Amino acid sequence: MPSMISNYKEKETIVKLKKTYSVLSQAYITAFNKYGSPDEWTWSPQEYPVPQTLAGYLRENLKVIKVCDDGSCFPDVMYKRLNGTNHANYSKEGSNFASFVLNDGTLFLFWSNGSCLASHKTCGFIYTDINGKYPPNQWGRDMFGFILTPSNIIPFGIEGYEYPFSTSCNKNRDSYLNGIGCTAWVIQNENMDYLH
């Protein structure tokens, strides 16, 4: 019985993550068509700090019910790395992040690299807790990440970008964002075998 429940939860996670990626990618395409590629977006603080400005380009194309100018849309809990060690309490990260909640409860957190050039692979990071405020609040289980590039949004874990699967999806490691690299694995392989 426990293995059946575990299998069900993993399948549910796979479906939710793929849906989140699809929704985010569509928001990116719409923003790209309206504003051009991210290297043409506003990358200097004007009315809002950069993470909020970056989030705004995508937010207008998502079904958002709550917006936070910091990480406070996230629950006031300590998120864990894949190996179970403490990582961060995103609700207390301040102006380093912008966050918002979708109508289905999905949470998003935006971090900006501070610039975006056509020659630079990474413009910013997008973190998502696919089941909202509910546990386990752990990278590689319900918390996943994407990279905003000048040409698309890609899942963390792809070789050649920050935090590839080979170094950032291993439950026996204690690296800073261990578990974030599992995003690409789940989307491409449609399983969570790295947990077993």
The ranges assigned to domains in the chain are: 2-195
Is pTM beyond 0.95 here? no
Confidence of residue 154 (pLDDT cuts 50, 70, 90): very high
pLDDT of amino acid 49: 59
Output the CA torsion 19→20→26→27 (10° steps): 150
Cα 192 to Cα 13: distance, rounded to the nearest angstrom: 9
pLDDT of residue 182: 96
Name residue 144's beta-bridge partners. Answer: 128
pLDDT of res. 12: 95
**Which pLDDT band, with edges at 50, 70 and 90, does 96 fall under?**
confident
**pLDDT tens-digit series, residues 131-140:** 999 999 999 9
Cα–Cα distance, 153 to 121 (Å, whole number) = 11
| pLDDT-wise least confident of 48-52, 56-60, 83-87 | 48-52
pLDDT beyond 70 at 13: yes
Give per-residue pLDDT as tens, 168-192: 999 998 888 899 999 999 999 999 9
Average pLDDT, the chain: 88
